[in-house]
Amino acid sequence: MSARPLYLDNAATTAVDPAVIAAMTDCLGSDGNFENPSSSHAGGARARQLVEDARERVAALVNAAPNGIVFTSGATESNNLAILGSFDADPRARQHFVTTRIEHHSVLDTAHALQIRDVEVTLLDCDAEGIVTAGQVLDAITDATVLVSIMHVNNEIGVIQDIEAIARTCASRGVRLHVDAAQSAGKIPVDLSGWGVDLCSLTAHKAHGPKGIGALYVAGGVTLAPQLHGGEQERGLRAGTLATHQIVGMGKTFELARPERDGPRLAKLRDMLWRGLGEIDGIRLNGSRDRSAPHILNVCLPGIEGESLRLALADIAVSAGSACASDDPEPSHVLSSLGLSDALAQSSLRLSVGRFTKPADIEWAVERIGAEVARLRALANGAPAWCST
């Protein structure tokens, strides 16, 4: 292996594909398409065309109308625009928001901001595998409900929610549905038009594109209040000079993504990883075996302090959960929602594969993780506490 750590943290971010880098570079230098896409001169028109071409490529991957794609700085901004923009545009005096306890912090923290404004918030529980049902959503909706927000693929455990069924439920009650698809686009099929989703957050850097660029899909007829002011870019929903190179990078990223090709390959690597790690005594899978995205594996190693294991595995880049919460000493809110104790949640690892992960990488990771678990258990003098934690 090289001196560089083996990278198995692709759910946090991914290496940018060389073809994406090349497309972005063409938009940066004085000989490239660096002009402001809002300018009226010929260079601006060329840049504008590149932006529109990228918009079409993003829309094509998720089966959406290109004019519904609004470029943002990433899925976090998209989540904020979808949620706050929906409530700011709704005239009802009483307002209600429905989401789940296992959402990304960019949704949960925005829900808290709504509560400060006296919006009622319902946080749905999941089952022991991380699944939330359409029936739960239906039971939670009231006459005051403005928006339901459900993540398609959970960023920590990889569970896939049945967005199509949830969308039908929301439509039957005339309630808007927002979906965070940051982890799913490019890995598994996303069919926004077919499912009837109203709003959907997307990002490039989870699919081998650049950081700092994302999009919000806004279905026809959906009205949002902008959260940034100072320009009429992006249909007046997102002020600011369009970053042509970033947008072109996202377009190329989504053009290269092929869920029907990439998904099965990633699933083989993930399954290979699970088979190898499954030989470790006491190991458990966090999440659903049957409804899981192909790139994420979250495991619990009872009796092994997770931070100690991660430090011991300095030659492998893994995580305890969401990278956005890496400075938080508290156990993962997602794993706690599955019913894991604090000790078990803190004994868990998230491993995630990507386009550049090879079978040999998996073999080496299994060997290294197994060896470190055995070493840490030996240091504990073989105490059987891990068997009953």
Which pLDDT belongs to residue 320? 77
Which pLDDT belongs to residue 328? 57
Q: Specify whether 181 is located in the same domain as 303.
A: no
Which CATH number covers residue 186? 3.40.640.10
Q: How far apart are CA 332 and CA 349, in angstroms?
A: 11
Q: Specify whether 26 is located in the same domain as 136.
A: yes
Question: Is the residue at 129 inside a domain?
Answer: yes
Q: How far apart are CA 111 and CA 114, in angstroms?
A: 5
Q: Which residues pair with 317 in a beta bridge?
A: 7
Q: Specify whether 10 is located in the same domain as 76.
A: no
Q: How far apart are CA 305 and CA 192, in angstroms?
A: 41
User: Where does residue 229 rank: exposed (0-12), middle (13-18), buried (19+ CB within 10 A)?
Assistant: exposed
Q: How far apart are CA 236 and CA 78, in angstroms?
A: 14
Domain termination residue (choose one: 213, 230, 256): 256
Q: How far apart are CA 67 and CA 215, in angstroms?
A: 12
Which pLDDT belongs to residue 307? 86
Q: How far apart are CA 329 and CA 335, in angstroms?
A: 14
Q: Which domain holds residue 157?
A: 18-256
Q: For 313-364, write each residue's pLDDT tens digit.
A: 999 999 875 555 455 568 899 999 999 999 999 999 999 999 999 999 999 9
Q: How many domains does the chain have?
A: 2
Domain termination residue (choose one: 256, 286, 316): 256
Q: Specify whether 10 is located in the same domain as 82.
A: no
> Residue 126 corresponds to which tokens in the numbers above?
């999941």
Which pLDDT belongs to residue 382? 53
Q: How far apart are CA 322 and CA 217, in angstroms?
A: 24
Question: Is the residue at 188 inside a domain?
Answer: yes
Q: Specify whether 316 is located in the same domain as 331.
A: yes
Q: Specify whether 170 is located in the same domain as 203.
A: yes
Q: Specify whether 177 is located in the same domain as 309.
A: no
> Residue 384 corresponds to which tokens in the numbers above?
């059987």
Active site residues: 324
Q: Specify whether 232 is located in the same domain as 348.
A: no
Q: Which residues pair with 160 in a beta bridge?
A: 153
Q: How far apart are CA 89 and CA 237, in angstroms?
A: 12
Question: Is the residue at 350 inside a domain?
Answer: yes
- Single out the residue of 342, 347, 345 nearest to residue 380, CA to CA: 347
What order of strands is seen across the sheet that includes strand 296-300? 284-285, 296-300, 348-352
Q: Specify whether 226 is located in the same domain as 357.
A: no
Which pLDDT belongs to residue 379? 87
Q: Specify whether 52 is located in the same domain as 200.
A: yes
Domain termination residue (choose one: 197, 230, 256): 256
Half-sphere exposure (CA, 13 Å, Cβ side) for 164? 6
* Other C-beta atoms lying within 10 Å of the C-beta of residue 172: 11
385: amino acid identity, one letter: A
Residue the block writes with tokens 């081998």? 208
Q: How far apart are CA 57 and CA 52, in angstroms?
A: 9
Question: Is the residue at 374 inside a domain?
Answer: yes
Question: Is the residue at 57 inside a domain?
Answer: yes
Is pTM, for the whole model, over 0.95?
no
The dihedral built from the CA positions of residue 161, 164, 168 and 174, taken in this order, carries a sign that is positive
SS3 content of the chain, % helix, strand, coil (to 5): 40, 15, 45
Question: Is the residue at 1 inside a domain?
Answer: no
* All residues at 6 or more sequence positions from 195 whose CB lies less than 8 Å from its CB, including other chains: 163, 164, 167
Q: How far apart are CA 245 and CA 197, in angstroms?
A: 28
What's phi and psi for 376, nearest 5 deg? -65, -35
Q: Specify whether 225 is located in the same domain as 114.
A: yes
Ranges of the chain with pLDDT below 70: 1-2, 321-329, 381-389
Q: Specify whether 195 is located in the same domain as 227.
A: yes
Which pLDDT belongs to residue 389? 45
Q: How far apart are CA 165 and CA 138, in angstroms?
A: 11
Q: How far apart are CA 7 and CA 21, in angstroms?
A: 19
Which pLDDT belongs to residue 231? 87
